[in-house]
Structure formats: structure tokens, C-alpha cells
Structure 1
Amino acid sequence: MTLPDVAERLDLSISKVHQMIRDRELIAVRRNGVRRIPTDLVANKTVLKHLPGVLTLLADAGYDDDAALRWLYEPDDSLPGTPAVALGGDRAREVKRRAQALGF
């Protein structure tokens, strides 16, 4: 989703979305010159509950935004699909535990 689309979905100003990215509450990457946020990280009208914590853990482990996004979308047979998908379900704590272990 583009940042204006995210702002509309979350009913926030575009500047608040930018602030959320700076604060690592959301992650955005450039695709064809446009910053985008994966749709499934914005559930309904909120950000996935555990996403900010996982992004902080990944940053602490030395992951930049591109590496963090790759990690979130790397298929994992022990999770329901990918860590990003698992964050939206009952395996979110497991995803946080795995992100935390990356720092050691």
C-alpha cells in the first residue's frame, strides 16, 4: 500500500504515518520510487499488534528495513507461512521470540 492509502485505512494524517515509520511502528520500502507498506501489516484499521516490537528487535539485531522485510516474508515451514502472516495470528509471540534470538 502507498503511504496515503495507509493513512486513509488507519484514519490518520500522512505525517502521522511518516512518524510511525520513523518510530519503527511500521516498515516501508521503496518500490519503483514509491514508498510502500505491505498490506497485511495493516490489519483492518490498526497496525498488527506485535509489529512494532518485532521491528525494534530486528533493528537491534542489525537488520535494516530491507533485511527486516525479507525476514518477515521468508517462508517458514514451522509457522503458518511467514513471520508476517504469523504476526496476525496466534503465533505472534513465537515470531517475537525468534526475532529476539537473532540478536544473540
Structure 2
Amino acid sequence: MPDVAQRLGVRLTDVRRMIEEGDLVAVRVGERRVLQVPAAFVDDDGPLPALRGTFTVLRDARMSDDEVVAWLFARDETLPGGATTAVEAIRAGFKTEVRRRAMEEAL
């Protein structure tokens, strides 16, 4: 998380607030269970705006944050634009298709 704060030029408390408000998702990783935000969830301007709604849809499907991250990074060759993961498709501008698929998870 300190890396995200540094990349965005904000305080660590601001990153925590982004997580609490649903702009970002963080998961515990490694033996020490360090809280981390995937680098693909942010760009130089901050959290990717298209992700917030996708996080909401997946959480509404009763996914944990670990499951949300796994779903967004799961390999899927059927995504548009040559993307191989949902997060790549979102970054390529296909958030509507990704959210449609996320809604199918909720059914």
C-alpha cells in the first residue's frame, strides 16, 4: 500500500479511504499477510474509475475481495480486444462487457 500512495502522491490514509469507499480492493498476500493493491487497479491519475462499479457487482455476487481479485485476473481468452483477463479488458475500454460477465456471476 505504501507503493500505491507514493505512485499517486497521496497519504497512506488516503489509500485506506479509497479501499473503504470501494474505489480500490486490497488483498492480503504472502507469509506475512501484507495488505496489497494490485498495480493494475491504478494509473497515474488514481484508481481506475471503471473498476469501482465492477467491484460493486462482484461484491453483490457475494464474492470476497480475494475472489474479486482472482476473478479480475483469471485468464479468459473470450474477452474482447485481445484481452486475456477482465482487468486488461477494462483497461482497454471494455468495462460494459466485463460488467455484463460479472453480473452473470451474480445469477
Same fold per superposition (TM over 0.5): yes
Unaligned runs of 5+ in 2: none
In structure 1, distance between residues paired with 2:99 and 2:5? 26
2:105 corresponds in structure 1 to 102
Give 1:47 shift: 1.3
Instruction: Output the TM-score relative to the length of structure 2.
Output: 0.88
Which structure is higher in RCO with an 8 Å CA cutoff and minimum separation 6? 1
| SS in structure 2 of the partner of residue 30 of structure 1 | strand
Give 1:45 shift: 2.7
Unaligned runs of 5+ in 1: none
Identity %: 35
Once superposed, what is the RMSD of the aligned Cα atoms? 1.2
1:11 corresponds in structure 2 to 9
Decide which moves more: 53-62 or 3-12: 3-12
Q: Which amino acid aligns with 2:99?
A: K
Aligned positions of 1:1-104 closer than 5 A: 3-32=1-30, 33-79=33-79, 80-104=83-107
CA deviation map 1:10-64 (0-9, x unaligned): 2221111111111221011111221111111112232112111100111100000
CA contact (8 A) 1:50 1:96 kept: no
CA contact (8 A) 1:54 1:96 kept: yes
Q: Which amino acid aligns with 2:95?
A: A
Give 1:90 shift: 2.1
Instruction: Output the TM-score relative to the length of structure 1.
Output: 0.90
Q: Which amino acid aligns with 2:13?
A: S
Of Structure 1 and Structure 2, which has the larger fraction of its residues in helix? 2
Number of corresponding residues: 102
| SS in structure 2 of the partner of residue 12 of structure 1 | coil
